[in-house]
Amino acid sequence: MQSRWNDAEADRYREQFRAAGERLALRIYTSHLIGGDPDLVLHGGGNTSVKATARDLLGREIEVLHVKGSGADLGDLGPDGLPAVRLEPLRELRALTALTDEAMVSAVRAALLDSSARNPSVETLLHAFLPHVFVDHTHADAILALTDQPDGEALAREVFGEQVAILPWIMPGFPLAQAVAAAFEAAPDCRGIVLQKHGLFTFGDDARTSYERTIELVDLAERFCARRIGGRPAMLVGEPAPLPSAERRALLTRALPALRGAVAVAAETALGQRWRRVVCDARSTDDLAAFSAHGAAPALCAKGPITPDHVIRTKGSYLFVPRAEAARLDLCQRAVAGFAAGYERYYERAARRTGLPMIAPQPVVAVVEGAGLVAFGSTPKAARIAADIAEHTLRVKAAAHALGDYQPLDELELAEMEYWPLERRKLGTAATPPLLGQVAFVTGAAGAIGCGIVEALLAHGACVFATDLDGERLAVAAERAGGGDRLVTATGDLTDPARVAGLFDECTLAFGGVDCVVPNAGIAHVQQLAEMDPERFRAVLEVNTTATMLVLREAARVLRAQGTGGSVVLQASKNVFAPGAAFGAYSASKAAALQLARVAALEFAEFGVRVNAVNADAVFGDEQVPSQLWQEVGPGRMQARGLDAAGLQRFYRERSLLGVRVLPRHVGEAVAFFAAGLTPTTGAVLPVDGGLPEAFPR
């Protein structure tokens, strides 16, 4: 490991955070250096601090400690991520022989300079009790591989000699703060403190010294491990060989829906059974696939985490799924049930004594033999965090296995950490939107209605896989919709059966499967029947009807594989019920598509899927994302009625019973209603047209 300190970059931070003072500016800089290296910390792990001075309300200069806020991420924190606490009141706590967690949190919050600031780290007292200006704490992979061993202390001493003090695992909080301070006082010349099965603390009187001590000590551990192992662990280099890359992808496209369905939880509510679904993050790099194919993988997956800090994100152990079982829903359900039963036993043995209710017992990470790992979360971010941690965990477990005998923290101490209220507080609380955990597959997403559907589904918490033939328009619509990591786009010709299957596979690999399918793509052609061009008629049928059939066929494949029901919401048209002259191709194709949806309602009910349709009319969109249909048929309609564009929109608005403008988002909200499954409805058509009596569904 090499230092990434750069004098010019340090000067840039001094300038950028000049108002905060040089010490805090450099504390932010080295925090970013540490947080940007996943071999040191991951997703809110670790903490840093700096001691400085500030003025109180009376103008007096006082010593303060800027320490990482609980749950903040070292990789992107700013001054507000390092709340300031008065140092002297915290140092006085050193005289105590015991301090409850509640009293500790109260004392630390009472010392905040700004009472509205976020909670300081649970290790604030540790930073306060050490005399150094800068203190860094990491969960370095190499340190964990070294100390997650039966003889971890002896190995650490072999690597570091007297450069570090070595402590056994101690629960964070007041006891750890006391122990670290005492360890430094007993060895004042040490350059760091190793806490077994947890990580490394370094310190110094300037930012660079503290940071580079971390780098130097971790580098020593990395070099020792590499020498002792003889390179990379065999588990990570294909011994035995994992599946080839293409076969891994093919296995995951089959396995993810089954795993996702098995991990989902059905709950009874006042409105009937509802599913708590998850999205997936699948990783299939060569080394992860090699680990998953190794004979030692099942036993290592069953063992606890490399550092107990990870337990709140991934649980202690991972589910191991044999290749032959990975694509079978019944076998995945059996495996998940077995994992859950094992977790319940662990809770009874180790965690019930905490007095807290059991956390959901389903796995958060699964390792699929020969393919890699899969992490589950209610959002892509949650799944990604778990997958990042799991990826590093498997690599560290492989290294520790090669070093000797991987031995994590015992389960009693692990449960204390997993159910520790101060640790769980890091997860925060979040709203639960109605479509949280759902994955929607939307076609025709580049048009006005498609964009409105995507926006509504995202607003209600869903992940969306949006597809269209026109990549440029799709990019504009996607930028408009936003969605961040909950929106994935892809182009494709829906009249090509292979491409439709490929799009569903891409959706599966992106999110784990699909729950709501919205066949929305459509084209129009205006021509009297007496003059109809057969090729144009056939082209409209191909897009509006045949492509709908292909989408329904692939939807059935994935939805059935998951076993958690779902919804299909077809975009119908007013022309199904009230066709217009010269609109024969469009009206006939849409009527056929609606008939396919009604047949799907009959057939898909077998596996719990509700199939409904939205009947929209006169949805023009706007300049940024216009309706492609109205771009094609609008000029003719304007000419026939002697209207300009604004007049045409006014005409369609005023002809409805409600006299309102129908927006793309209105259609999207109708789709979201069906996706939420709030009513036991299937085979229905919901008009979103302002009220057109001639088009009332009948």
**pLDDT value for 328:** 97
Q: Please report, rounded to a whole number, the percentage of residues in the chain having pLDDT higher than 90.
A: 86
In the predicted model, what is the mean pLDDT of residues 180-195? 97
Closest to 172 (Cα-Cα) out of 356, 30, 35, 312 = 312
Q: Looking at the annotation, which residues are catalytic? A: 586
Cβ atoms of residues 350 and 396 within 8 Å: no
pLDDT band with cut points at 50, 70 and 90 for residue 698: low
- What are the distances in angstroms from CA 169 to CA 98, 172, 193, 251, 540? 18, 9, 12, 40, 68
198 phi/psi in degrees, rounded to 5: -140, -55
The alpha carbons of the chain give a radius of gyration, in whole angstroms, of 30
* 3-class DSSP string for 151-176: CHHHHHHHHHCCCEEEECCCCCCHHH
Q: Per residue in 259-296, pLDDT tens?
A: 999 999 998 888 888 899 999 999 999 999 999 999 99
pLDDT in tens, 108-161: 999 999 999 999 999 999 999 999 999 999 999 999 999 999 999 999 999 999
| DSSP string of 452-468, one letter each residue | HHHHHHHHTT-EEEEEE
> Residue ranges per domain, the chain?
7-229, 245-427, 439-625+662-687
pLDDT at 240 over 90: no
Measured CA to CA, the distance from residue 545 to residue 522 in angstroms comes to 9
CATH 3.40.225.10 fits 7-229, yes or no: yes
626, 449 contact by CB (below 8 A): no
Residue 242: is its pLDDT beyond 80? yes
Supply the pTM of this predicted model: 0.93
Select the more confidently predicted residue: 632 or 314: 314
7-229 and 245-427 have identical folds: yes
Q: Which of 333-347, 385-399, 503-517, 635-649 has the lowest average pLDDT?
A: 635-649
Three-state secondary structure readout of 595-659: HHHHHHHHHHHHHCEEEEEEEECCCCECCCCECHHHHHHHHHHHHHHCCCHHHHHHHHHHCCCCC
Q: Among positive and negative, which fits the CA dihedral 619, 620, 622, 624?
A: positive
Positive or negative, the CA dihedral 36, 37, 43, 44 is negative
CATH homologous superfamily for the domain 439-625+662-687: NAD(P)-binding Rossmann-like Domain (3.40.50.720)
Tokens of 173: 């909080």
Question: 245-427: what fold?
Answer: L-fuculose-1-phosphate Aldolase (3.40.225)
What separation in angstroms does the CA of 8 have from each of 28, 115, 136, 533, 554?
A: 15, 35, 22, 69, 55
Task: Please tell me the least confidently modeled range out of 121-125, 171-175, 424-428.
Answer: 424-428
Q: Which region among 182-196, 347-361, 419-433, 678-692 has the lowest average model confidence (pLDDT)?
A: 419-433
192-196, 199-203, 330-334, 521-525, range with the lowest pLDDT: 521-525
Give the model's pLDDT for residue 419: 94
Q: Give 673's pLDDT tier (boundaries 50, 70, 90).
A: very high
> Does 617 score more than 80 pLDDT?
yes
pLDDT number for residue 539? 96
Average pLDDT over residues 202-224: 97
Q: What is the pLDDT of residue 642?
A: 81
Write down the mean pLDDT value for the chain: 94
